Every structure is written in structure tokens, then in C-alpha cells.
Amino acid sequence: MSEPHELTALGQAEAIRRGELGPVELVEHLLRRVRRLDPEVGAFVTLTPERALDAARAAQRTLGDTPHGELSRLFGVPTAIKDLALTAGVRTTFGSQVYAEYVPELDDDAVTLLARAGTISLGKTAVPEFGLPPYTEPTGRRATVTPWDTRLLAGGSSGGAAAAVATGMVPIAHGTDGGGSIRIPASVCGVVGLKTSRGLVSRGPLGGDPLGLSVSGPIARTVTDAAAMLDVLAAPVLGGPFARPGRYRQGEYLEAARRADPGRLRIGRYATPPLPGVALDPACQSAYDQASTVLTRLGHEVVDMAGPGIELDAATEFVAMFEVLWAVLASGDPVPADAEHLLCPLTRWWRAKAERVSGTEFLRAAHAAQLVSRRIIAAHSAYDVVLTPTIAQLPRPVGWFTEGGDPAWDYARQVRFTPFTSIYNITGQPAVSVPLSWSEPGQAGQLLPVGVQLVGLPGADRLLLELASALEVAVPWSDRRPPAW
């Protein structure tokens, strides 16, 4: 058998069911891997080895008492939880020094569902403060970097999750995405990251946001692993504020990914950044062109579209609307007045902007978001799937966003880095980033992964996974390994 970390999540689960690998043996192996690799990568903020080993021992006992056909497809598989998700009894910092010692008393629904399926969390993955920027460089701890070139940031805000998966510390990891936070680090780290349809995965019992910008979803090395994890996360939970897209059938996402045959699709594409003054890096253009060629070769009709459904002259209004919503959401985490000084400059900047937003202005921005969503979804409805670059630039160096200490400059760089992702948090559409391409060697002579984004209509998560799996069959990527592997 291959080394345990070489196996996919589904491969690890199958080895456990066959008795070739024990849950305790697997957890111990991956914990050793975390201790060896993480000092350089910075994927984990909190490691929970004893808790993980206790869960592995319990899984071992369950294997002896339960018919294997009744076990989850991911039973016994190690994973990790993003540090924005409440985890009962485990330090959950939200990437902030304000919450450096916070230990919640309850789990997010995603944490509950993953544990119920028999997956075993090794700990909490690193995030920027409150998940606000698209990079993971929290105050007071080392930056999270891409294992392909450790001078470069891993993206964010699920940067720790993507880095952990890319290095084989875990085969799958939980992420959340409020403006690109799963897709951006997936592109930077060379893994698969799915932003799910609004309402598909519960953000309860406390969480999410009242606008539904942020969703939970899987990060994995393969599409089938991501699909298997989504089958766990998408289990219905009563009381959600958003309508669930479609009916739930256990195993439907993995079935679709394994089928890898969505039929002939009409695929729209655009690569012009939909925000003014933003340029596309040639490597991102090349990845987009390659994806277009592969999709055409697979028999799909690939046609150009003018953009996402908003013209450039309206994009400034879109940015202003998004900034109002993001600022108010950024102020939602309670911070005691005597702890404000612990916040990083960017968080203070967003919270100060929120203080200037009246209730009327927020309501107008929320209404504008609904109007623009209708326009964008209407434009996309002429196609089964839409193709775009995931990000507009290659990974940025550590300190690139924050140099100079000006949050406004930091945010301006964020916009230039990732103009393609937040649109689909506004609309609630599903979108997946797949690592179809690698750049030419950089200064260190190392290839860098470059993702492309596939976007579906609301509720089309299954179709996206089936198409992404077909791409993976045509241009396999999971055998590519970063230097730290």
C-alpha cells in the first residue's frame, strides 16, 4: 500500500474498511506529518492530537461493532476545521488576538455533521482576522504560505485549510467562502475548492450572516473527495434562513463526480476582470485559455460572453454596494471596547467604515445586491456553466498586502488580486476552482498552480462537480506534488 498520506480521502476510508489501515495508525501518521511540515507552512493554528487520537480509538471500536456497509464513505478519515467555525471544547480564535483563548461550548453544524460521519479533526486551520482579507497573515503569528513556494501567501481566508490539504497533512478540509475564501486559496495551493450554493450547507446554529454571503464547503485534492465531503456537509438541518436548493439524496454528489459525464454543455466564458482598473496576469489568462481548449475537446460548446452581467460602468456601483455590506458584516463580531487595540489595522478600518453606514444605507445596499443578483443570474441562464479565471494575479509575497500599513491600500490590492470571486457570493451561485494549469517556473524555478473557476446556476453544485471531475480525468492534477510533499 502507498504511504497513508498519498491516498485520497476515499482511498484512506477504503483502506480502513479493508483492514489495511487503522484509524489510530492513520491519525498518528498525519500528526507526525503536521509536526514536520507545518512549521514552514503555517496551516494549523490549533492542533488537537489527544482529541483526535481519542476519536480514532473510538472509530476503531466502531469498526469492530458495525457492518461496514453502514459506515460513512469517509469514516475514519482525518480532516481539519477552519478556525472561523465554532468547535466545542477547542480553542477557536477567528484569527484574532481578541479571541486568542476563546473556547466555545457548541459546534457549528458543519463540525457536527463531519464528526457524525466519522471523520476525525486534527485541529483548527489558520485564518486571517474574522476571515476578512483574501490572504492569511494574522497579527501575532506566522503567515500561512503556499507549499509550492513558501515565500508566497497561501491565499485566504481558508488559507490554512488549503495549505494543509496541498501538503497531505489532511486529505480534505472544511472551508468557508464569503468573498472567494475557498476558491482563492484553492487556486494558490493547487487543490479543489467548492463554494456551495446559498442554503445548501447549514451555517447554524449561530452562524453565517444575514445576507448569506458566506457558505461552508469542501477543500480537497480531488473532485471525488470534495464531492464525498459535500455529501456529508449537505445533510439537511432544520431552521436555516435560506431555502434549500433541491432535495437531498445521500451520495448524489459523489455519484456525479464518479460519473464525470455531464453531457454536452453550453459553457459561457469571460476573462476580462469585471472591475475597473484591474489587469489579468498572463499566467491566469493562459490557464483560462487551456481550460477553454480542454472543454472544447471534451465536446462542449464554449462561447464568449460580455461579462458576468454587469457592465464596467456599473462595476463601481457594485464595488460600493459590496463594501457597505462587507463593512457591516465585519463589525458583527463582538469586540470589547478595551480590546479594540488588539485588532489589526484592516479590521479597524472596516469597522470604522461600518460606523458611518446608516440603517437606511445598509438596506439600500442589500436591495441593490438583490437587483444585481437577478441581472447576473439572468445573464448566466443562457449557459449551463460559466468559465472564468479564479484570481487575476499569481500568489503574492508575504507582506505584499500589508506593507506600508495603509488598510485602504491593502484593500485596493485585494481587489486587483481577486476580482472574479465575490460576485458569486452576492448571487449565491455555486462556483468551484480547479487546478487545471501551472505557471512557468518563477524566480525559484518552481511551478505555481493556477486555478480556473466554473460557475453554475443556483443549486447546480452536482453539475459543477460532474464537469470538474471530467476535467480532472482529461488533465489529471492530483499527482502533482509541491516541494514540501
User: Which one-letter DSSP state was computed for residue 436?
Assistant: E
Instruction: Kindly write down the DSSP assignment for every residue of 327-386, as one continuous string.
Output: HHHHT-S---GGGGGGS-HHHHHHHHHHHT--HHHHHHHHHHHHHHHHHHHHHHTTSSEE
Instruction: Kindly write down the DSSP assignment for every residue of 51-74, as one continuous string.
Output: HHHHHHHHHHHHHHHS-GGGS-TT
Q: Which three cell numbers stand for residue 392?
A: 487575476
Q: Residue 177 in contact with residue 425, Cβ under 8 Å?
A: yes
Instruction: Give how far the C-alpha of residue 476 lies from the chain's centroid of Cα atoms, to the nearest Å.
Output: 20
Q: Which three cell numbers stand for residue 333?
A: 463580531
Contacts of 103 (CB under 8 A, 6+ apart): 89, 90, 91, 92
Q: Shortest CA distance to 421 belongs to which of 266, 257, 308?
A: 308
| Identified catalytic residue from 96, 121, 158, 181 | 181
Q: Residue 228 in contact with residue 437, Cβ under 8 Å?
A: no
Q: Residue 459 in contact with residue 245, Cβ under 8 Å?
A: yes
Q: Look at strands 266-269 and 385-389 and give their pairing.
A: parallel
Cis peptide before 205 (omega within 30 of 0): yes
Active site (annotated) includes residue 72: no
Q: Residue 217 in contact with residue 465, Cβ under 8 Å?
A: no
Q: Which three cell numbers stand for residue 231?
A: 455529501
Active site (annotated) includes residue 181: yes
| Identified catalytic residue from 157, 158, 216, 422 | 157
**Polymer length in residues for the chain:** 485
Alpha carbon distance 113, 111 (integer Å)? 6
Q: Shortest CA distance to 175 belongs to which of 213, 117, 216, 203?
A: 216
Sheet holding 120-125, edge to edge: 44-47, 120-125, 78-82
Instruction: Return the bridge partners of 266, or none.
Output: 301
- For residues 447, 128, 230 and 266, what is the CA-based torsion angle, rounded to 10 degrees? -60
Intra-chain end-to-end CA distance of the chain, in Å: 18
Between helices 345-355 and 312-330, what is the axis angle to 10°?
Answer: 100
- The residues annotated as belonging to the active site are 82, 157, 181
